[in-house]
Amino acid sequence: MSFLLPQAQRPIPAAAGIGLRAPHIARVLQERPPVPWFEVHSENYFAAGGPMHAALERIRADYPLSLHGVGLSLGSSDALDVAHLASLRRLVDRYQPALVSDHICWGAIGGIHLNDLLPLPYTAEALALMVSRVQQVQDALGREFLVENVSSYLSFRHADMPESAFVAELVRRSGCGLLLDVNNVYVNSVNHGFDPGEYLRAMPHASVREIHLAGFLRKDRLPVPLLIDSHSRPVADEVWALYREALELCGPQPTLIEWDQDIPELEVLLAEAARAEEELHACRTAIA
Amino acid sequence: MPAAPRLHELQQGFAAAVLGRSDDVAAWVDGAGLDPAARLRIYRNAVAATLDAALHDAFPTVHALVGEDFFEAMAARYREQHPSTCGNLQSFGGALPGFIEAIPRARSLGYLADIARLDWLRQLTVLAPDAAPADARAAADAAAVEPRRLHLRLHPSLHLLHSRWAVLTLWQWCQSPGGPAPRPDRGGESVLLWRDGGEVAMAAVDPATFHCIEVLAAGGDVAAAHRAAMDLDAAFDLQPCLRDLLVQGLVVAFNNQEGCT
């Protein structure tokens, strides 16, 4: 029945969207580029009013929207910040996004926020906490929530499972959806020395609702390889290859190009999205 | 080897490392070819960069006036003493004006704290809730109400800053610095900030007008606001002040309407 709905109310298509950032908003409003969907950072819209909302209301009228949070700090041993959750709830009610997500990480402790996506120890204790938090969020929002695997630069000695098992089990036990960040899988495979294909195969493919792609930075002059998930460059060839593998496993999924540092002209993002679209097309053709 | 830390203990230790207070948590970090402390420093640097960028965004005029080196050193000390307490970075930095006042090196730049206040109020003005202005008919009805019974609800984006320095003149100069900088001590300025078509509008007004609006914004009745302004300037004329507020769409409701107390 989706052909009866206005464009913006349709679910997010299995097509390549882009992360909408402040420098591009004016052009998007003016030119209405043929982007299949946009994603914004939820916290940028937590304020009650102002020009950011005026712009997003107009964009939302014409494009499907995804809300992607960076500040819920799901895995913190502090209690979940109910004010933050209430702000997210208000935003979800206002914009009726097709997807809502945050990360498998923590960012605050003892009331101090570090405003970063910090790594969890992959332990039974952290898993149980994450499961209960995701359930709490899904109950509060009354809808499916997506969690995203994060990139990390260290692991903990007392971890008792690999990251992939932690992610898969979290999704299975909490009943949430998975936002599979393929760049983060690749970055972590280099940083922690695992096989990224094996990681992808361990994911709960039927629960994948969205895929993220972004560019990383390579740190030189270190005794071991280290990649930084900088969102500052084009998607790397290795990540495109891994994306192809992910599509083979999960089928075509809504895919997002993220770029947050040294943000280039909109055309660069559109070109990256076009490349993702080619991969999606190849995947659809292979299935058909 | 001690027992593995519980999540709470680990996160406290991690935060201590990120805030530069203690690297004890490094004992639980797998170095995997690198010094565990070096891996922790990646996070320490990233957190610092994020918070510094938030301060740069919120305080562009302070940055323009003091330059990168001073600003960076100030930001580093600020985030040590006033760690972020919110998952939304738009809330980080509210205590910076008071912090600047307490910096010995900034004492010679007395106006800097007020510039920081102006920067911060500009951000609050951008993010304030939306509200539709009262219509002409509501204003006409209100005109019939006795001033001592009349209250105005002003637009949530309206903010006020009274400074003993020429903060607005200085702010304007910073937007396109050319010629000698204006002297900050050339006279105080009372500044109104509000949102006009998505942009922050600012105007310096005379002290009596400022005080009148201040009393109205605090919920005082029109007669009280008028008296307060007259105390500063016996020649103060209420009508143009109210008219400007109405024309700018800064009156949202009168007390004869719902939502105004």
Assess contact for A231 and A215: CB atoms under 8 A: yes
Question: Taking CB atoms and an 8 Å limit, are B198 and A46 in contact across chains?
Answer: no
Question: Taking CB atoms and an 8 Å limit, are B11 and A106 in contact across chains?
Answer: yes
Q: Total structural domains in chain B? A: 2
Q: Residue A178: helix, strand or coil by DSSP?
A: strand
Q: How many CB atoms lie within 10 A of CB A110?
A: 12
Confidence label for A9 from pLDDT (cuts 50, 70 and 90): low
Residues of B in contact with A94 (CB under 8 A): none
Q: Give the residue from chain A lying closest to B81, CA to CA.
A: A112
Considering the domain architecture, whether residues B83 and B17 belong to the same structural domain is answered as yes
pLDDT beyond 60 at A141: yes
Please name the member of B29, B83, B131 whose beta carbon is closest to the beta carbon of A112: B83
Q: Give the residue from chain B lying closest to A128, CA to CA.
A: B7
Name the residue range of residue A79's domain.
Answer: 2-287
Please name the member of B32, B87, B157 whose beta carbon is closest to the beta carbon of A71: B87
Considering the domain architecture, whether residues B54 and B127 belong to the same structural domain is answered as no
Identify which has the larger pLDDT, B177 or A173: A173
Domain end point (choices B87, B109, B131): B109
Residues of A in contact with B83 (CB under 8 A): 112-113
pLDDT beyond 80 at A130: yes
For the segment A229-238, what is each residue's pLDDT rounded down to a tens digit?
999 999 999 9
> Rounded to 10 degrees, what is the CA torsion of A228, A232, A234, A237?
0
Considering the domain architecture, whether residues B64 and B94 belong to the same structural domain is answered as yes
Considering the domain architecture, whether residues B92 and B40 belong to the same structural domain is answered as yes
For chains A and B, what is the number of CB pairs under 8 angstroms? 146
Assess contact for A64 and A125: CB atoms under 8 A: no
Mean pLDDT of A147-162: 98
Percent above pLDDT 90 for chain A: 94
pLDDT for the residue numbered B107:
75
Domain end point (choices B109, B141, B158): B109
Considering the domain architecture, whether residues B167 and B247 belong to the same structural domain is answered as yes
CA distance A245 to chain B (A): 28
pLDDT for the residue numbered B105:
76
pLDDT for the residue numbered B261:
43
Domain end point (choices B47, B78, B109): B109
Name the residue range of residue B56's domain.
Answer: 1-109
B33 φ/ψ sector (left φ>0, alpha ψ -120 to 50, else beta): left
- CA distance linking residue B77 with residue B120, whole number of Å: 18
CA distance B130 to chain A (A): 5
Residues of B in contact with A46 (CB under 8 A): 88, 90
Mean pLDDT of A240-256: 98
Q: Return the closest-CA partner of residue B84 out of A111, A193, A75.
A: A111
Considering the domain architecture, whether residues B82 and B131 belong to the same structural domain is answered as no
pLDDT for the residue numbered B110:
86
- pLDDT tens, chain B, 261 aa long: 578 999 999 999 999 999 999 999 999 999 999 999 999 999 999 999 999 999 999 999 999 999 999 999 999 999 999 999 999 999 999 999 999 999 887 777 889 999 999 999 999 999 999 999 998 888 888 888 999 999 999 999 999 999 999 999 999 999 988 888 899 988 999 999 999 989 999 999 999 999 999 999 999 999 999 999 999 999 999 999 999 999 999 999 997 554 444
pLDDT for the residue numbered B177:
84
Considering the domain architecture, whether residues B69 and B160 belong to the same structural domain is answered as no
Residues of A in contact with B5 (CB under 8 A): 158
Mean pLDDT of A176-204: 98
For the segment A34-59, what is each residue's pLDDT rounded down to a tens digit?
999 999 999 999 999 999 999 999 99
Considering the domain architecture, whether residues B44 and B160 belong to the same structural domain is answered as no
Considering the domain architecture, whether residues B84 and B157 belong to the same structural domain is answered as no
ipTM score here? Answer: 0.95
Please name the member of B8, B33, B199 whose beta carbon is closest to the beta carbon of A224: B33
Q: Give the residue from chain A lying closest to B87, CA to CA.
A: A71
Percent above pLDDT 70 for chain A: 97
Single-letter amino acid code for the residue at A185: V
Considering the domain architecture, whether residues B20 and B94 belong to the same structural domain is answered as yes
Single-letter amino acid code for the residue at B129: P
Contacts of A227 (CB under 8 A, 6+ apart): A151, A186, A187, A190, A191, A216, A217, A218, A219
Q: Total structural domains in chain A? A: 1
pLDDT for the residue numbered A288:
75
**What CATH number did the domain enclosing A160 receive?**
3.20.20.150
For the segment B77-94, what is each residue's pLDDT rounded down to a tens digit?
999 999 999 999 999 999
Considering the domain architecture, whether residues B143 and B17 belong to the same structural domain is answered as no
pLDDT for the residue numbered A287:
78
Considering the domain architecture, whether residues B199 and B180 belong to the same structural domain is answered as yes
For helices A237-250 and A182-192, what crossing angle results, to 10°? 120
